[in-house]
Structure 1
Amino acid sequence: MSELPQIRVRKGRGAVTNQAGRFEPCTREAVDDGWSTDEALREATRVETQVLPDSSRTILASNDSPDVPFERSINPYRGCEHGCIYCFARPTHAYLGLSAGLDFETKIFAKHDAPALLRKELARRSYKPSTLALGAVTDPYQPVERRLGITRGIIEVLAEARHPFAIVTKSAGVLRDLDLLGPLGKAGLAKVCLSVTSLDRDLARILEPRASTPTRRLEAIRGLAEAGVPVAVLASPMIPAINDMELERILAAARQAGATSASYIMVRLPLEIAPLVEEWLEAHFPERKAKVLSLIRQSRGGKLYDSQWGKRMRGEGAHADALARRFRLAARRLGFDERRWVLDTSQFVRPAADARQMSLL
């Protein structure tokens, strides 16, 4: 029996398989037993998106990582339909008994109560404001947001409380909320970090199947900047021999569109992501697979991933060092400021724990 070749690549999906999570006791493998019809094979390639309720009782996540510039974050969704093959959040689906592969991009858990939960958190007398990262793990403007509007509900609460926040996204859908973000940006309460991974539309579609096209992301940067919202471009991740040759062009295009700060990250392949990316390379870039993996290993001390603080975002070795120098030179030439997350906390107004509660003042 041979593996089903027809399901190696699914239109609109990033992962090519649905490997079991690291906590699962058994695995399954699809094979062709000779009885499959063409229609059955076509049906096997269709994986519909399911939106499921998330029953989290809290909404703010905390971290003390020295590699990220924020202490608290909010993620309206678990899983992400954008389908970015390299997404460092994919392994989190293993905690739900699901795969970091297709499950991650087709089984989306929505935190419908997020705005109400956030309101309760901000209303606590012990709460002290600091810049929140909205979408630090999964994209707050993935396709399902158009229908559910959870992210907008969160921003409305933050706007009411005059609480500073920074959005991390790769979606032009952020422009939908320009009516809120424009005034907040001008007031020093909001900024947007927009990821641009490639300027090549075809490559972007393979890397990030359901994310906005590069052109639309640049338009989003321009629209935000014109509305007075500070914008940072994230040239992330840089994948050796896939998109790292575009670094300077990405930064230049984003600067021209209005971005004022920039950063980059070397591709990270923790846990289940490494085999998923290997499969993806075999499916889309078989002639480059060995070179890509070799360069990643050279940048990770001979491994596909090194989780050490201070190294996991940038890597080390000749290739990583050259990429870092290229970024510094380009950022200096283009006049980018240092990416800052410190926004104004002095305007914070503690909201009522219940939106229906009226103020006496």
Structure 2
Amino acid sequence: MRTNKTIKNRGAVSNPEGRFENEKREIFHDGWDIDAFDNEPLPALETILLEERAKSIINRNDSPDIGFDQSINPYRGCEHGCIYCYARPSHAYMNLSPGLDFETKIFYKADAAKLLEKEISKANYTCKPIVIGANTDPYQPAESKLKITRSILEIACQYQHPVAIITKSSLIERDRDLLSKLAEKKLIKVAVTITTLSVELKKILEPRASAPQGRLRVIRGLSELGIPVRVMAAPMIPMINDIELEHILESAKNAGANYAGYTFIRLPYEVKDLFKEWLKTHFPQRAEHVMSLIKQMRGGKEYDSTFGKRMRGEGEFADLLAIRFKLACKRLKLNCVPSAELATHHFIKPQGVDKKQLLLDL
């Protein structure tokens, strides 16, 4: 359903039906009292937390352009409301909208820790680093209450299992006690995403994510704990935040990051329409130019999911962005030393978990 009005602290401008729905709805005004209708503010949207009973918790990945094999996503949907989020289309599988529903109807995996303990106890399980938050942020606002990510880290500490975390939230500072224990045995890496250093742009681009200075504080604090920290300048959006690339990298380096990466904006499925709607709302003068540059980096299309191209794009603009990133990293001495592999030899396989679970089920 489309409203064409913005809602405070929400990223999407509308709540369109998912691609699997047969019917579409649209607000219709009968023409009476037009001024009142146009000026009437939209009510604030409440976040609804929904429990998801998962049968397994570890996702396996075989994509050649993603550098990990295993991941865990404690939440489906994300309150941060980042308009560019490539995970938005997953809400269509729940018969919900990738628009405002994605930001306001959050599914949480209450038994994540128990499922993880059970899965890593299996005889055929091979210990490999698990990335927490590859799809949606594991430290989104709901985590402050539910503490599901923290419960996963407790299992990682108990059984000495290596993990990596991707976040743009300062809430990660809450778990310094667990992170420091993991760091002692080289069992933890963290990637902090910084999309922009502009507070004003952050408010409309990723409305409920932590402020840029808060993320730099996270980088500084984690680095002081001896945790390898990577800054992700992501996603880069032409004519929106790409001009900030070098400044983001420099600020992160000064805060203690020694590694860096970047990605180009991805617009799969419904995300492309949501993003274009966002552009017309917030940057109407440059909306067409932004989309033109994105198409140039996608072989004339709005999105190309081809492995090797989807993260970085192609063409002159993409090549220039890659050169700028390389030169900035060289000047700032980022990525000078290969990131050390997380330790796996400390892993302690849980014993008797399946038997314990059977007794609980009985």
Bin the TM-score by the shorter chain.
over 0.9
> 2:226 maps to what in 1?
228
Q: Following the alignment from structure 2 to structure 1, what is the Cα–Cα distance between the partners of residues 162 and 217? A: 24
For the aligned residue pairs, the C-alpha RMSD in angstroms reads 2.1
Shift in CA distance, 42/127, structure 1 to aligned 2, threshold 3 Å: farther
On the 8 A contact 2:60/2:71 being kept in 1, the answer is yes
Shift in CA distance, 353/45, structure 1 to aligned 2, threshold 3 Å: farther
On the 8 A contact 1:9/1:16 being kept in 2, the answer is yes
Pair 1:71 & 2:69 matched: yes
On the 8 A contact 2:60/2:70 being kept in 1, the answer is yes
Pair 1:343 & 2:342 matched: yes
DSSP-derived class of the 1:234 partner: strand
DSSP-derived class of the 2:310 partner: coil
Q: How many residues align?
A: 354
2:267 aligns with one of 251, 255, 269:
269
Shift in CA distance, 341/41, structure 1 to aligned 2, threshold 3 Å: farther
Shift in CA distance, 178/42, structure 1 to aligned 2, threshold 3 Å: farther
> 2:7 maps to what in 1?
10
On the 8 A contact 1:7/1:45 being kept in 2, the answer is no
- Pairwise CA distance, 1:227: 1.3
Deviations along 1:270-307, one digit per CA (max 9) or x if unpaired, are: 11000000000011000110110010000000011011
On the 8 A contact 2:118/2:354 being kept in 1, the answer is no
> 1:198 maps to what in 2?
196
- Pairwise CA distance, 1:46: 2.3
Q: Following the alignment from structure 1 to structure 2, what is the Cα–Cα distance between the partners of residues 354 and 77? A: 24
For 2:341, the aligned partner's letter is V
Pair 1:20 & 2:25 matched: no
When the two structures are superposed, what TM-score results if normalisation uses the length of structure 1?
0.94
DSSP-derived class of the 2:164 partner: strand
Higher mean displacement: 331-340 or 291-300 = 331-340
2:29 aligns with one of 19, 32, 40:
32
DSSP-derived class of the 1:192 partner: strand
On the 8 A contact 1:232/1:339 being kept in 2, the answer is no
Q: Following the alignment from structure 1 to structure 2, what is the Cα–Cα distance between the partners of residues 32 and 235? A: 42
Q: Following the alignment from structure 2 to structure 1, what is the Cα–Cα distance between the partners of residues 37 and 192? A: 40
Identical residues among aligned pairs (%):
52
DSSP-derived class of the 1:263 partner: strand
Q: Following the alignment from structure 1 to structure 2, what is the Cα–Cα distance between the partners of residues 341 and 355? A: 34
Q: How does 1:195-344 map to 2 (within 5 A)?
A: 195-337=193-335, 340=339, 342-344=341-343
Q: Following the alignment from structure 1 to structure 2, what is the Cα–Cα distance between the partners of residues 287 and 31? A: 27
1:155 aligns with one of 153, 156, 161:
153
On the 8 A contact 2:7/2:42 being kept in 1, the answer is no
For 1:344, the aligned partner's letter is A
On the 8 A contact 1:166/1:341 being kept in 2, the answer is no
Higher mean displacement: 314-323 or 329-338 = 329-338
DSSP-derived class of the 1:218 partner: helix
Higher mean displacement: 335-344 or 307-316 = 335-344
